Amino acid sequence: MQRKLATQLAALILISSAPFISTSAAATGLLEIYQLAIENDPQYRGAEAAYYAALETKSQSRAQLLPLVNLSANTSKNKQDTISSGFFALGTRRFASSGYTLSLSQPLFNYDYFIQLRQSDATIGEAKANLSAAQQALMVRISERYFDALAALDGLEFARAEKRAIDRQLEQTRQRFEVGLIAITDVHEAQAAYDLVTAQEILAENLLASQYEALAEITGRYHKTLAVLSAETPLITPEPADIGKWGDTALNQNFQLIAAEFVYNKARDEIKRQRAGHLPTLELNASHTYADSKGGNFGNNESENQAIELRLNMPLFQGGSTSSRTRQAQRLADQSREGFERQRRATLRQARDAYLSVLAEINRVKALGQAVVSAQSALDATEAGLEVGTRTTVDVLDTRRELFRAQRDHARSRYDYILHTLRLKQAAGILATADLELINGWLQSRNAPAKHSSAEHSSAEKHSVATTAKPSLADTAIGIE
């Protein structure tokens, strides 16, 4: 299964003038957070460095097929003592000598080198796929932490709203007790509820601070305020509405699976490379040597020598090491094949799970929205019952608690819907910056007016992921041909 991997790797990488952690005072949207993460996230930057390092393997493998040219030179001062000779005069002679050698070696046939060149292509392909996978993973990671922070902020606001409501009820309960309308137990129950929600408020404050720390871990900056999700955010169903087609897309375009395939192909080539140890090698060698001696027994001597050599090397026996390395490469290829199959199954499961989760979350958002309406109606009825004496303070406290729980769950479900949509596109290998731009358009400053009318919301729900959120290949930061 061969594919061309076409990735546009310039994905909003900015040069940071302040790499240390700083504080951003303005409200920040998801897209800006992502841009900061691209610049500052160590995990993504490490994947980028690994990609550029892998690019060098091509040059190194190609270099083995090119000529090697070496120049060596020497100069020396010599002292020669002739003690006994029938031809030369006795005595000591001092003289200088010098020379140089220019050599060239050109491999003509070495199957090992050709295999390494092909393996370098697989190494680069794997690194490209890993970098693209890291970019998509960063999009999901930063979105998870962004919406976790919003969920924590919602939790704190709901806790404070509940605390204010219980505080008012506590005051009313005390007044009713003072005029003899209720027993002291109602006051104690309201006070207990107030104390409990105060503890929950403290916990919510700590959770929010923790989520902001988690966000700063990726972006390298602290963010005081975040843009929040509009109440009219559309619920977009996946298109095509076919779980099998989403699985097929994932098997063809998921970057982690593509990287695993390159690893497997490289392992299979390694078997051929080790077998090449049984094959002959042929190389052409040429040299030019010059030597000049200014004395000695033979007097002044100057010479030049040129040589051309065709060398064939035929391995006959290496103690069985070549066969052993070949068997080892076969077992490692088997391991890579199983790793590829494991990744293929995981990719298919992730795509199908994400598809089902998107559909389930859409229905859950709607159901929880209705639950909020019902809980509010129940609270209104319970408060009215308290006034006429048919319901107790405990009933009101419990009903109000259910209302805030429904509101909190509804807010969380909207975030989960967006995250499941991103995970689906990540599994399918089509997640791109344009998807974050779309989501960023659903954000607004806190307490800002709604962005969409109800008519716009109704129309948006009819749109598909493909037509609304899926970018064209020309607009994506990552793509496959």
Q: Give 229-239 pLDDT, tens digit per residue.
A: 998 889 999 99
The band of 294, judged by pLDDT with boundaries at 50, 70 and 90, is confident
Q: What's 374's domain CATH number?
A: 1.20.1600.10
Of 265, 295, 314, the residue at which a domain comes to its end is 314
Q: Which residues pair with 301 in a beta bridge?
A: 293
pLDDT computed for residue 26 by the predictor: 56
Q: What is the mean pLDDT of the chain?
A: 85
pLDDT at 22 over 50: no
Secondary structure of residue 313 in the 3-state scheme: strand
Do 192 and 274 reside in the same domain of the chain? yes
Q: What is the DSSP string of 59-103?
A: HHHHHTTS-EEEEEEEEEEEEEEE-S-SSS--EEEEEEEEEEEEE
Q: Which residues pair with 469 in a beta bridge?
A: none
Token reading at 419: 């995250």
Token reading at 369: 């929205």
Query: What would the pLDDT profile of 144-188 be if each residue is shown by its tens digit?
Result: 999 999 999 999 999 999 999 889 888 888 988 888 888 899 889
CB-CB neighbours of 110 under 10 Å: 18
Using an 8 Å Cβ cutoff, are 114 and 273 in contact? no
**Bigger pLDDT: 106 vs 468:** 106
Q: How far apart are alpha carbons 231 and 177 in whole angstroms?
A: 40
Q: How far apart are alpha carbons 193 and 115 in whole angstroms?
A: 73
Residue 384 lies in a domain: yes
Q: Which residues contact 416 (CB under 8 A, 6 or more apart)?
A: 361, 364
Beta-strand pair 221-223/22-24: parallel
Do 124 and 39 reside in the same domain of the chain? yes
Do 127 and 272 reside in the same domain of the chain? yes
pLDDT computed for residue 85 by the predictor: 60
Token reading at 471: 């970018």
Q: Which residues contact 346 (CB under 8 A, 6 or more apart)?
A: none
Residue 319 lies in a domain: no
The band of 28, judged by pLDDT with boundaries at 50, 70 and 90, is confident
pLDDT computed for residue 2 by the predictor: 40
pLDDT computed for residue 84 by the predictor: 67
Lowest mean pLDDT among 113-127, 184-198, 361-375, 448-462: 448-462
Q: How far apart are alpha carbons 40 and 21 in whole angstroms?
A: 10
pLDDT computed for residue 467 by the predictor: 28
Do 184 and 297 reside in the same domain of the chain? no
The mean pLDDT of 217-234, rounded to a whole number, is 91
Q: Which residues pair with 6 in a beta bridge?
A: 479
Q: Is the dihedral of CA 164, 168, 173, 178 positive or negative?
A: positive
Q: What's 77's domain CATH number?
A: 2.20.200
Question: Radius of gyration (Cα) for the chain, nearest Å?
Answer: 37
The mean pLDDT of 201-213, rounded to a whole number, is 95
pLDDT computed for residue 8 by the predictor: 33
- CA 126 → CA 26, 45, 53, 265, 347, distances in Å? 39, 16, 12, 10, 17
**Bigger pLDDT: 457 vs 411:** 411
Q: How far apart are alpha carbons 23 and 272 in whole angstroms?
A: 55
Do 28 and 136 reside in the same domain of the chain? yes
- Residue range(s) defining the domain that contains residue 162: 5-64+111-279+324-480
Do 218 and 182 reside in the same domain of the chain? yes
Secondary structure of residue 321 in the 3-state scheme: helix
Residue 127 lies in a domain: yes
The mean pLDDT of 418-431, rounded to a whole number, is 98
Percentage of the chain lying above the pLDDT 90 cut? 67
The mean pLDDT of 304-323, rounded to a whole number, is 94
The band of 94, judged by pLDDT with boundaries at 50, 70 and 90, is confident
Q: Which of 163, 160, 148 is nearest to 209 (CA)?
A: 148
Query: What would the pLDDT profile of 380-418 be if each residue is shown by its tens digit?
Result: 999 899 888 888 888 888 898 899 999 999 999 999 999
pLDDT computed for residue 9 by the predictor: 33
**Bigger pLDDT: 267 vs 28:** 267
pLDDT at 24 over 80: no
Lowest mean pLDDT among 64-73, 95-104, 274-283, 336-345: 95-104
Q: How far apart are alpha carbons 402 and 397 in whole angstroms?
A: 9
Number of domains in the chain: 2
Using an 8 Å Cβ cutoff, are 288 and 304 in contact? yes
The band of 295, judged by pLDDT with boundaries at 50, 70 and 90, is low
Do 261 and 288 reside in the same domain of the chain? no
CB-CB neighbours of 14 under 10 Å: 10
Q: Which of 82, 84, 76, 83 is nearest to 296 (CA)?
A: 82
Do 200 and 337 reside in the same domain of the chain? yes
Report the chain's terminal Cα–Cα distance, integer Å.
Answer: 13
pLDDT computed for residue 468 by the predictor: 31
Strands (E), 299-431: 300-313
Do 88 and 165 reside in the same domain of the chain? no
Q: How far apart are alpha carbons 181 and 386 in whole angstroms?
A: 11
Do 93 and 210 reside in the same domain of the chain? no
Q: Which residues contact 253 (CB under 8 A, 6 or more apart)?
A: 428, 429, 430, 480
Q: How far apart are alpha carbons 247 and 255 in whole angstroms?
A: 14
Do 25 and 133 reside in the same domain of the chain? yes
Do 127 and 149 reside in the same domain of the chain? yes
